Amino acid sequence: MVQLGWKAGPEQYGPVELLEYAIAADKAGFDLLDVSDHFHPWSEAGQCPFTWTWLGAAAVQTSKIRVGTGVTCPILRYHPAIIAQATATVSCFAPGRTYLGVGTGEALNEYSVTREWPEYQERLERLEEAIQLIRALWSGQEVSFRGDYYQTQKAKLYTPPATAIPIYISALVPHSARFAGKYGDGLFSVGGKKPELYRQMMQSFKDGAREAGKDPSRMPRLIELNVAYTESIDAAIQEQIKYWAGTYIPALFAQKIYTPEMSEENGEAVGPETIKKTGCFSPSSDDHIQFIQQYIELGFDTIILHSPGPDQRAFIERYSRDILPKIRTMTQSQPVLG
């Protein structure tokens, strides 16, 4: 069955207010809570609380919703062993509800605090090694790890995970989707691209999974979609521009753009029409259902809804009332393609 998630945006909200929305999303019946893991926000107007402290609070203040990161970069500002410990502890508060999303990161969050920003291929190699180390530590056994990038000596998690923690790997192109299939437990992507790209990614993901001896039909495929379900469409789009404009320009994810001010400058070319093309900004529930359905038909089975505002609580309540039940009813008899 399709899972429907809510995106928690610490780039926009402070930790206390964001926690209130997380509790509301849990009560409203969202299946999954996904939260960014950044050191810097995308703009000077934003906020950026520490995600792992916040996740612990969210874990104990919710009871049903799955909680995890979208996504953590466990290769530069974090040592992989620290992420292994952090996720293990969250799982003790939310057993069976904890997952870890990982990716190769952005200079905005990594170079800014380490002055390191290797080329993409090295970051991918680091990520492969980090995943190996994290999984080894989750076993609860002593780990003396000898990698090209990370070393441990009899490291051990004395508080191991309460239950198994799946790792979902971020991918925006077919090459990284294949990596996700091979080394991850699922795929994590973002919306707004051309359908053919997602078809290629899905095939690459399946190929990678099968290469590793896994069944791709049993591996979750998550996608984050930008939406606004409100009569105040212009206000919602302006919120998106205010906090996330930089993310619409690919250079942010490849170049050494390492301050919120630089990210803002990167996004100066982004206007309302660009935003509208990459999401669903409409007061019509039918528009949202149709928008989500197209991604389900492309093979995604976990849809994460990110709304920039202007009223987050109203979005959670209205979306859970008007749209989530209809999506669930429609997809009960329409399994996602494996």
Which of 17, 20, 44, 106 is the catalytic position?
106
Q: Cα–Cα distances in Å, from 105 out to 101, 112, 114, 120, 253? A: 11, 12, 13, 10, 7
Q: Which two tokens stand for residue 28?
A: 């409203």
Q: Cα–Cα distances in Å, from 127 out to 50, 133, 168, 183, 194? A: 21, 10, 12, 10, 27
d(CA 307, CA 315): 7
Could you count the other beta carbons within 10 Å of the beta carbon of residue 110?
25
Which of 11, 17, 20, 38 is the catalytic position?
38
Element (H, E) at 142: none
Helices H, strands E: what count in the chain?
14, 9
Q: What's the DSSP call for residue 329?
A: H
110 has catalytic annotation? no
38 has catalytic annotation? yes
Catalytic residues: 38, 106
